[in-house]
A and B are shown apart, each in its own frame.
Chain A
Amino acid sequence: MIDLSIEKLLKAPSGEMNLSVQMNIPKGSFVCIYGKSGAGKTTLFKILSGIMHPDKGKIVVNDQTWLDTQNKINEPPQKRKVGFVFQDYALFPNMTVQENLNYALQKGQPADIVDELMELMELGGLAERKPETLSGGQKQRVALARALVQKPEILLLDEPLSALDHEMRTKLQQYILKVHRQYHLTTLLISHDVSEILRMADVLYHLEDGKIIRQGKPAEVFTRKEISGKLQLTGEVVSVESQDFICIVTVLVGNELVKVVTVRDEQHPLHPGDKVLIASKAFNPVVKRIG
Chain B
Amino acid sequence: MNTLPGKIKDVSVSGSLSLAHIDVAGNLFSAIVIDTPATSSYLSPGKTVSVIFKETEVIIGTGKEHAVSLQNRLQGKIIEIESGDLLAKIVLDTAAGKVVSVITSQAVKKLGLKEGLEVTALIKTNEIMLTA
Contacts and interface: CB of A to CB of B under 8 A. Distances in A.
Interface in A113-162: none
A227 B131 contact: yes
A281 B55 contact: no
Given A227-B52, A228-B40, A263-B55, A246 B131 contact: no
Contact of B89 (A224, A245, A283, A284): A245
Q: Categorize the interface residue count of chain B.
A: 20 to 34
B87 A246 contact: yes
Contacts, number: 51
Nearest to A261: B56
Interface in A261-280: 261-263, 279
A245 B84 contact: yes
Nearest to B35: A228
B126 interface: yes
Given A246-B84, A282-B34, A226 B126 contact: no
Contacts of B87: 244-246
Contact of A227 (B84, B89, B129): B129
Q: Categorize the interface residue count of chain A.
A: 10 to 19
Which residue, of A224, A243, A244, A283, has the highest number of chain B Cβ atoms within 10 A? A244
Nearest to B126: A283
Contacts of B128: 281
A229 B129 contact: yes
Contact of A243 (B32, B35, B84): B84
Contacts of B33: 228
A122 B16 CA distance: 50
Contacts of B35: 228
A283 B128 CA distance: 10
Interface in B47-78: 52, 55-56
Interface string A214-243: 000000000010111110000000000001
Contact of A281 (B56, B85, B129): B129
B129 A279 contact: yes
Given A227-B52, A244-B82, A263 B89 contact: yes
B126 to A, nearest CB: 4
A244 B131 contact: no
Contacts of B38: none
B127 interface: yes
Interface in B105-132: 126-132
B38 to A, nearest CB: 14
A228 B82 CA distance: 31
19 contacts: A224-B131, A226-B42, A227-B129, A228-B33, A228-B40, A228-B129, A230-B34, A243-B84, A245-B87, A246-B84, A246-B102, A261-B56, A263-B1, A263-B89, A263-B100, A281-B127, A281-B128, A283-B32, A283-B126
Top 3 A-B pairs, shortest CB-CB distance: A244-B84, A283-B126, A226-B132
Interface of A: 224, 226-230, 243-246, 261-263, 279, 281-284
Given A244-B82, A263-B100, 15 more contacts: A226-B42, A227-B52, A228-B31, A229-B129, A244-B89, A245-B84, A246-B84, A246-B102, A261-B56, A263-B55, A263-B56, A281-B127, A281-B128, A282-B34, A283-B32
